[in-house]
Structure 1
Amino acid sequence: MQQDQMFNAFAEQARSFYQPMRKLNSLVLDHMSKVAEFQMDAAKRYADTGFERARAATEVKSVEQLSEFGNRQLEVATELSQQMMDDSLKLAEMGNEMRSQMEQAYSDAGKEATDKASSAASKASSATADAAKDSTSKPASATSRAKQS
């Protein structure tokens, strides 16, 4: 019976110890997945723009078309520069979101650990008080039994 209690207590301690790590790992994996998906989408957009411009270059057949192509290249470069800035801001926002989630998870884990430690101390104090009560009552009952004999 006591071994079952000890095993259950150990299992509970292991669960409570690893629970915050599982939560943190889950957050990291979710964040990595979002960032990877975002980067793949961005890479596809940039590659599509590059291929579109390369195709447009192959269609230039006159000086006028070359001039139009050059003007469009400047527009595309400006658009691409703005898109890269927007993507950088989005990645920074994703990083800040991840940081705040991690801070919250650490805070929750610390609070939970403090609560459990407080609860364990309270239980230990209660058990000590019960043991003290038992030890003071036993001699009294032993003394009263001795008097009765």
Structure 2
Amino acid sequence: MPTFNTNEITQQFDNLFMAPVRAYTALSIDYSEKLLNAQLEANKAYIDTGIAQARQLLSIKDADGLRSYMEGQQKVAKDLAERVKGDADKVVSLQQDFLQKSQKLTEDNVKQARAAATKMSKSA
């Protein structure tokens, strides 16, 4: 009959269950923080653009000013479309990074569980 001391059991429990949970939780928190920051940065940029456009609209005093404002809208629309694409690319990149890291964590945890199971079966 195999004998295990309490420290070994506690260590194995931590290695097999708690350490992977902590690692995945830390990864999830990091991902959530990066995603939230990306969203906040994007929202601020969109709000700043909207406020700047509203201020420009308020400063129109004549037909030339209106024409100038309308001509500038093409550049604003182009810049905004590029910003949206860049923000979407950033989110996709964050998601891919999270997926790759979580898959690596899973693979490492499966290997570690197999090794522990092998060790336990040999000592039995």
Report the TM-score when normalising by structure 1. Answer: 0.77
Q: How many residues align?
A: 121
Unaligned 5+ residue runs, structure 1? Answer: 125-149
% same residue: 25
| CA deviation vs aligned residue, 1:68-106 (integer Å, no higher than 9, x gap) | 101111210111011101110110011001000000000
Residue correspondence of structure 1 range 3-82 to structure 2 within 5 A: 6-16=5-15, 17-82=17-82
SS at match of 1:60: coil
Aligned-residue offset at 1:52? 0.6
Aligned residue in 2 for 1:92: 92
Aligned-residue offset at 1:63? 0.3
- Name the CA distance, whole Å, in 1 between partners of 2:11 and 2:18: 10
Report the TM-score when normalising by structure 2. Answer: 0.91
Q: Aligned-pair RMSD on alpha carbons? A: 1.5
Unaligned 5+ residue runs, structure 2? Answer: none
- Name the CA distance, whole Å, in 1 between partners of 2:96 and 2:44: 24
Aligned-residue offset at 1:115? 0.9
Aligned-residue offset at 1:20? 0.6
- Name the CA distance, whole Å, in 2 between partners of 1:8 and 1:102: 29
Residue correspondence of structure 1 range 66-145 to structure 2 within 5 A: 66-124=66-124
Higher relative contact order (CA 8 A, sep 6+): 2
SS at match of 2:87: helix
Larger Rg: 1
Moved over 3 A (4+): none
